[in-house]
Chains A and B, each alone.
Chain A
Amino acid sequence: MMFEFSFLFGQFLGGLTAAMFLFLIASGLSLIFGVLRVLNFAHGSFYMIGAYLAWQFVRSIAPTPEGFWLAALAAALSIALLGGILERALLRHLYSREELYQLLFTYALVLILGDMAKLAWGTQQLSVSRPPSLAGSSEVFGVTIPHYNMFIMLLGPLIAIGFWYILQRTALGRIVRAAALDRETLGALGANVGWVYTGMFMVGSFLAGLGGALVTPIKSIVPGMDVDIIVEAFIVVVIGGLGSFWGTFLGALIYGQVLSFGILVFPRFSIFAVSVLMAAILIVRPWGLLGRPLK
């Protein structure tokens, strides 16, 4: 089996773009899990609503050519606000209960938000056009790459580095890391743990909303994208290691490439290849590639 270099490079870039989207979404899931220890099924719903809101805002508040950027930011911020309200009003009261209640609560949100999106935006496919500033494309090594995809490929690492800096090098990051390790001790030291949790839930939700908003120029918005993306994000964080930030980045890269090249090797089995990879990792290193072993 021989392939042209430019073809393989094209596959690689396709995988990379998919990986950076997944990273945006999965990093939010992983941050929330790392600090709150809640597996948020509604994360995929936040992503979907973020996409719908971006479409809505492009039409209503920002119908100018470059209004997409404003709309995407507004959508992501609205999702952060939604996340904050839900955490403050409801989820917070379940931290002391068993995991089952938290899981079912976030699942109930999936059901409710999914139907609310149908009520608000119907079931037809919606799409958003690329902002004019990034509508062009360039040829690199014989592969045509849309500028928008290049922007996504750059945005992923930028967000990763930004988060790494905040988490590892700032006082705020120290508090967040402490909250992930030992909530009670942090509280005893005088930090307002409740608001740290709310803040992290909002940041995670923001990333989901941003991912949803930014994906709209590439993928059309359809009902059901919520339950599909959450599974992909879930696989990414399991491969990389739950709660591990760089693990999520690595997991997304691997997922993107396995999916992209898996199609060449087993045309029908690329989803299967990713699942098998996840199973293999869970069996050998249940805590993921870069995660810490669990007690």
Chain B
Amino acid sequence: MTRIPWTLVVFIAGLAVPFLGSRFYTFVASDIVIVSLFAMSLNLLLGYTGLVSFGHAAYFGIGAYTCALLMKSANVPFLPSLLAAGLMAGAFALLFGFFCVRLTRIYFAMLTLAFAQIVWAICFKWNDVTGGEQGLPNVPYPDMAWMSAAPILGNFRVGDQFYLSALIIVALCFAALRRIVDSPFGRVLTVIRDNPERAQFIGVNVRAYQLAAFVVAGFFAGISGGLFGIFNRGVFPDFAFWTKSAEPLIMTILGGMGSFWGPAVGAAAFIVLNQQITSFTEYWPLTMGTVLIVLLFVFPGGIAGTLTGLLARLRAGPKPANAPASTPQMVKPNA
């Protein structure tokens, strides 16, 4: 049985979205593509290194502001601005992460949250640079003259053209992330996740690896933030607020943090759900909170985890007719 190259299929389907000619579909697809990078970058910490960061929005926000400021105020072209967004976010991740990786578990989560609040306070109050509470409206679209000159792409609206650039950039980032988690470096991260003490015993410098993962995750979150600022046509302090940090966590849980693509699936589900629900009720947080509680208690593996579990059960074939689905009375030792 040959494997279907799902990644390629999804990518090509993504490329086809602008041909549908719907402004709405392109809008939703752009949102999914950009935000899934945010969630996937977090999962490098959450799913692969076992670090619960509750301040990932800091790097998203830093990237968004860096890219928007460079493009809007300094007229720097798109790609250098975006790269600078990633590098700036990575640099701050290095600075903050240096202190965070010294703490474990819940304390790590709190310190990441604390640093994110500092970033938020700066964005919120530094009116001269960040625009303070008002944010930075009217972030320009990148100059896509080359695309307009190209044969087919030239007919697309600027939103579609930006979507295609974002899709390609995010696909490259996903390829890079895949390389990273499959590399020896990525394997060491999973060792640290599973047993940090044992990793230390075999000579792994746990903190250095955790810090490296933190910086890489920060870099990609910064790229995602940079793209999002352009897509959103504006950058606001809310990008770094603590509730924003919860979003990629929810997406990751929704999709399943145990698999590489889980967070992207979760991001897509989150955004589609948001679109569907907000079209008939303003109480989206109430719905999301309820969905989240059901997930936490009933489907902790998320969409991807539940689907793979189902597939595995289907592949294993039907159980013998006599054996009940579960036999707790046989498993339980005599107490």
Q: Which A residues have a C-beta under 8 Å from some C-beta of B?
A: 37, 39, 90, 93-94, 97-101, 103-105, 107-112, 114-116, 118-119, 227, 231, 234-235, 238, 242, 268-269, 271-272, 274-276, 278-279, 282-283, 286, 294-295
Name B107's contact: one of A108, A110, A276, A286 (CB within 8 Å): A286
Name A294's contact: one of B107, B113, B290 (CB within 8 Å): B107
Cα A99 to Cα B108 in complex, Å, equals 11
Cα A268 to Cα B123 in complex, Å, equals 12
Q: Which of B144-189 contact A (CB under 8 A)?
A: none
Nearest residue (CB) in B for A279 is B118
Quick check: B118 and A276 within 8 Å, CB to CB? Answer: yes
Quick check: A268 and B107 within 8 Å, CB to CB? Answer: no
Asked whether any CB of chain A lies closer than 8 Å to the CB of B11, the reply is no
16 contacts between A and B (CB under 8 A): A93-B297, A97-B300, A99-B106, A103-B54, A103-B109, A103-B249, A104-B249, A104-B253, A107-B250, A108-B288, A112-B290, A116-B286, A119-B283, A234-B113, A242-B107, A275-B121
Cα A102 to Cα B289 in complex, Å, equals 13
Quick check: B286 and A235 within 8 Å, CB to CB? Answer: no
Report how many A-B pairs have Cβ atoms within 8 Å: 116
Cα A282 to Cα B118 in complex, Å, equals 12
Asked, given contacts A227-B242, A231-B117, whether A99 binds B109 with beta carbons under 8 Å apart, the answer is yes
Quick check: A107 and B286 within 8 Å, CB to CB? Answer: no
Cα A116 to Cα B246 in complex, Å, equals 19
Cα A231 to Cα B114 in complex, Å, equals 9
Interface centre among A107, A111, A227 (most CB of B within 10 A): A111
Asked whether any CB of chain A lies closer than 8 Å to the CB of B311, the reply is no
Contacts of A283 in B (CB 8 A): 99
> What is the interface of chain A mostly: helix, strand, loop, or mixed?
helix
Cα A242 to Cα B106 in complex, Å, equals 11
Quick check: B293 and A90 within 8 Å, CB to CB? Answer: yes
Q: Which of B105-125 contact A (CB under 8 A)?
A: 105-107, 109-111, 113-115, 117-118, 121-122, 124-125
Cα A110 to Cα B250 in complex, Å, equals 13
Asked, given contacts A100-B249, A115-B286, A271-B125, whether A235 binds B117 with beta carbons under 8 Å apart, the answer is yes
Q: Which B residues have a C-beta under 8 Å from some C-beta of A?
A: 46, 52, 54, 99, 102-107, 109-111, 113-115, 117-118, 121-122, 124-125, 127, 241-243, 246, 249-250, 253, 283, 285-286, 288-290, 292-293, 296-297, 300
Cα A145 to Cα B83 in complex, Å, equals 55
Quick check: A109 and B289 within 8 Å, CB to CB? Answer: yes
Quick check: A108 and B293 within 8 Å, CB to CB? Answer: yes
Nearest residue (CB) in B for A33 is B106
Contacts of A108 in B (CB 8 A): 288-290, 292-293, 296
Q: Which 8 A-B pairs have the closest CB atoms?
A: A111-B289, A115-B286, A112-B289, A111-B285, A108-B292, A108-B289, A275-B118, A275-B121
Interface centre among B114, B250, B253 (most CB of A within 10 A): B114
Quick check: A272 and B121 within 8 Å, CB to CB? Answer: yes
Quick check: B52 and A275 within 8 Å, CB to CB? Answer: no
Quick check: B293 and A282 within 8 Å, CB to CB? Answer: no
Contacts of B292 in A (CB 8 A): 104-105, 107-108, 111
Asked, given contacts A238-B110, A278-B114, whether A268 binds B249 with beta carbons under 8 Å apart, the answer is no
Contacts of A116 in B (CB 8 A): 286
Contacts of B246 in A (CB 8 A): 104, 107
Nearest residue (CB) in A for B241 is A227
B154 to chain A, nearest CB (A): 44
Contacts of B122 in A (CB 8 A): 272
Quick check: B52 and A286 within 8 Å, CB to CB? Answer: no
Contacts of A110 in B (CB 8 A): 243, 289
Cα A103 to Cα B292 in complex, Å, equals 11
Contacts of B243 in A (CB 8 A): 110, 227
Quick check: B115 and A268 within 8 Å, CB to CB? Answer: no
Interface centre among B125, B241, B250, B300 (most CB of A within 10 A): B125
Cα A55 to Cα B246 in complex, Å, equals 30
Extra inter-chain contacts (13) besides given A100-B249, A103-B109, A279-B115, CB under 8 Å: A37-B106, A99-B109, A103-B52, A112-B289, A115-B283, A115-B286, A115-B289, A119-B283, A231-B242, A269-B125, A275-B118, A282-B111, A286-B102
